Amino acid sequence: MQITPSDLGLIARAVGLTKRYGSAANPVTALDDVSLGLRRGEFTAIMGPSGSGKSTLMHLLAGLDQATSGQVWLGDTDITELPDAALTVLRRRRIGFVFQSFNLVPTLDVEANILLPFELDGRKPSGIERAWIDELVDALGLRARLRHRPHELSGGQQQRVAIARALATKPDLLFADEPTGNLDSRTGREVLALLADAAKTHGQSIAMVTHDPVAASFADRILYLSDGRIVRDSVRSTPEEISSYMLAMEAAA
């Protein structure tokens, strides 16, 4: 009998993941034979200097892009060879996204943005889901903003809407790429606290890409990438520990 990723308590797993860009003559190796497992219910930060392959790794784990070689599982689903249509349904139902900016559909108001994943699935939220969305809306302080369009919100408010949308479907895994990159540090910390809380109180699995040591300090686990390889796998750390490691890493490079 084969041991499945979820038997190991993993929500996502990658084996021998490699991604090359460019021509065969002049390849850029963005990811170099990376293997990892993300644990269910854990808030994992993926750290590394610019160009180390963080975004690339996230795209592959989320089924947004095709790896050059290697395999990716989401839960027990091998998504490596899934066709586009199946990946789309997977993103709809099992994955949530929070990006650095441009998270929201500009023509839809806040409520419609939050409900979009359900609508795409051709259904209305169930009673339980409705209650959960209400809870999110209140917790994120969006109640008074439901009828507003994204351009009427501040950057921090927009990020909170994106988080509400990403959490609304209770996805298996929430991906966040530099979710605080465009925010001032106080607003950024608020957003990070919300993510950390979702993991702690609701067991939400989160993978967050960042190069900000403060952001990474909110995570339960930190993976360090350098030149397309994982160079360190650490438990929760303080911002100071994280920055000194990052500095050491850059000095070594």
Partner 1 sequence: MNGRLRDHGSTLLVASLASGFGVLLLQVTGILGAVVLADDTTGSSATVKTMLDVVALVFVAIAVYVAAVTTANTVATIVAGRTRVIALLRLIGSSARTQRATIAREGLVVGLVGAVLGALVGTAAAWGIGAVGVATEQIPAFEYSYWTPVLLVPMVAVVLTTWLSAWTGSRRVLAVRPAEALGSSGEQSAEELGRRTGRTATGVTLIVLGVLALAGGVLVGLVHPAGVLVGVVGGILSFTGVVLVADRIMPAVLRAVGRWFGTTPPARLAAENAVRNPERSTRMTIGLVIGVTLVTMFAVTMETYRDAMYAVMEGQENVEAMLGPVIDGTVAVFSVLVGFSALIAAVGLVNTLSVSVLQRTREIGLLRALGFDRRQVRVMILAEAAALTVAATLTGLVLGFVYGWAGAQAMLGSMTGEPALLAPAVPWVVLAIIVVAAAALTALASLAPARRAGRVSPVVALAVE
Binding site for Mg ion (CB under 5 A): 55
Residue 239, SS3 per DSSP: helix
Query: 84 contacts which partner out of Mg ion, ligand ATP, partner 1, none, CB within 5 to 8 A by kind?
Result: partner 1
Query: 21 contacts which partner out of Mg ion, partner 1, ligand ATP, none, CB within 5 to 8 A by kind?
Result: ligand ATP
β-strands 69-74, 43-47 pairing = unpaired
Of residues 44, 55, 113, 159, which one binds ligand ATP by CB under 6 A? 55
Is residue 52 involved in binding ligand ATP (CB under 6 A)? yes
Site for ligand ATP in 178-217 (CB under 6 A): 211
Taking CA atoms, 109 is separated from 40, 114, 121, 124, 137, in Å, by 32, 9, 19, 17, 14
Site for partner 1 in 95-114 (CB under 8 A): 97, 99-108
Of residues 4, 9, 21, 247, which one binds ligand ATP by CB under 6 A? 21
CB atoms within 10 A of CB 148: 15
Is residue 28 involved in binding ligand ATP (CB under 6 A)? yes
Sheet with 95-98, strands from edge to edge, namely 95-98, 173-177, 206-209, 43-47, 221-226, 229-235
Site for partner 1 in 177-206 (CB under 8 A): 177-178, 181-182
CB 234, min distance to partner 1, A:
25
Q: What is the H or E stretch that residue 168 is in? A: helix 155-168
Using CB under 8 A, count the residues that bind partner 1.
37
Closest listed residue to residue 52, CA positions, set 249, 233, 251: 249
Ranges assigned E (strand) in 199-253: 206-209, 221-226, 229-235
CB 100, min distance to ligand ATP, A:
9
Using CB under 6 A, count the residues that bind ligand ATP.
13
Q: Binding pattern to partner 1, positions 38-57, x when CB under 8 A?
A: -----------------x--
